[in-house]
Amino acid sequence: MRTKLTILMLALSILPAACGSSASGGATTAVEGYITALATKDQAALISNSCADWEDDALIELDSFALVEVTIDGMSCAEAGTDGEVTLVNCTGMLNMSYNGEPQSLNLADRIYEVIEQDGNWLVCGVR
């Protein structure tokens, strides 16, 4: 019985860290989760990494990837500073896309992501 209780307590202590990656990993983790959600077309993950004010824009971005195959190549994100309460995040790497066999690429360095902390969660809330 004692072993089961110890295992249960350990599992419950690990669970919050495993569930909300953007909550525990900071601004860069939120952006990486956002980009990954776009590439994998995971609407729920995209919304969970977006602030309420950005959700409509995030869904429009997601719709733009609906008909293309997307892979992420070499993504790495880092905080680039702040602008008021907004943390700015730059990424490197590429989103490689294919539509009807025609390849296209999107350089992740072409955008700066605006991230806010809201109730302990880091959320993408815009791009520049």
How does pLDDT run across 97-118, given as a tens digit for each residue? 999 999 999 999 999 999 999 9
Tokens of 85: 């309460």
- Rg of the chain in Å (alpha carbons): 17
Domains in the chain, ordered, with CATH?
A: 22-127 (3.10.450.100)
Average pLDDT over residues 22-49: 90
pLDDT of residue 25: 52
As to burial, measured by CB atoms within 10 angstroms (0-12 exposed, 13-18 middle, 19+ buried), residue 68 is middle
For 48-103, write each residue's pLDDT tens digit.
999 999 999 999 999 999 999 999 999 999 999 999 999 999 999 999 999 999 99
Task: Report the pLDDT value the prediction gives residue 38, as an integer from 0 to 100.
Answer: 98
Q: Give the pLDDT confidence score for residue 39 in this predicted structure.
A: 98
